[in-house]
Homo-oligomer: A and B are copies of this chain.
């Protein structure tokens, strides 16, 4: 059904359309790509491709435009991920190397990715799941409030103010802190809930309500902040692009953490570093846009996801190359720190 030449035609259509943003006709196609066949033959192939739903024409007597299905075939079988140039790689490396802490790594990454792809970049903060507790700090703010600070080995810091059920002296806070650190230091975050389960019982009765309050906030922090924080950059790149969905909807989605999270999608557990590409209507949350994403993180410490969002009409090979490269470099940086 789809012989070699028809695939070549589809590839040519996608490439031309992506670069010119205009429906591509049979004549131009036969000329620009040396297909060694006449426009008429190309037209026949086009008719077949349209029959199968890979391309479509905006109106009778206009050129053809790839459908989502067409892009899908292109991405799966007709294109190769395009590696970055040496200059680009060096730029990435030096730019990311300058980061001073986790926040900075994430901020730099998302900006970098936006600039490289000229799309909107989205980066999820590394989750706490695989991290371990480096230190727990309790800082008295007033006699009924303490600040709980949780520092992990990945350099992440979580903070929460805890309202205490009763007035607590500083010495008792210090005691609790010591107990907490003795109990949790170096332990994986995922094991924290079980580790603290029986903690109140091991304390003096008068400390239990306070301890319980603090622990509940601690657990809340672990669960809620788990993998919620997501940042984006490069919204300015949306200005030129045209989506089938309104620009307003895209901007709204970007500011909605939950939607962003869904857009990035789940990391497949078996091949976490594989590139995920969702094209147009394949994406149930924001149609008319495409998302190229991947997991990142060091080795067995698969942490989070990053990617870019753009119009369906996107240069997939280049974008995929950039996303993959950035993910690798960030993973390296994180592994080193």
Contact = CB atoms under 8 A, between A and B. Distances in A.
Q: Assembly of this chain: how many copies?
A: 2
Interface stretch (A47-55, A61-69, A249-257): A249-257
B160 A100 contact: yes
Contacts of A235: 235, 251, 254-255
B147 A149 contact: no
B234 A239 contact: no
A251 B250 CA distance: 14
A153 B255 CA distance: 30
A30 B139 CA distance: 66
Interface string A203-243: 00000000000000000000000000000011110111000
Given A137-B135, A255-B233, A161 B248 contact: no
* 10 nearest A-B residue pairs (beta carbon): A239-B248, A236-B251, A236-B252, A135-B139, A157-B159, A235-B251, A239-B247, A236-B248, A139-B151, A101-B161
Contacts of A165: none
A87 B157 CA distance: 37
28 contacts: A100-B161, A101-B159, A101-B160, A111-B255, A134-B139, A134-B141, A135-B137, A137-B149, A137-B151, A141-B153, A147-B155, A149-B149, A149-B157, A151-B159, A157-B157, A157-B159, A233-B255, A235-B254, A235-B255, A236-B248, A236-B251, A236-B252, A236-B255, A238-B251, A239-B246, A239-B247, A239-B248, A240-B248
Interface in A242-284: 246-249, 251-252, 254-255
A337 interface: yes
Interface string A22-64: 0000000000000000000000000000000000000000000
Given A137-B151, A147-B151, A239-B251, 13 more contacts: A100-B160, A101-B159, A134-B141, A137-B149, A141-B153, A149-B149, A155-B159, A161-B337, A233-B255, A234-B255, A238-B251, A239-B246, A240-B248
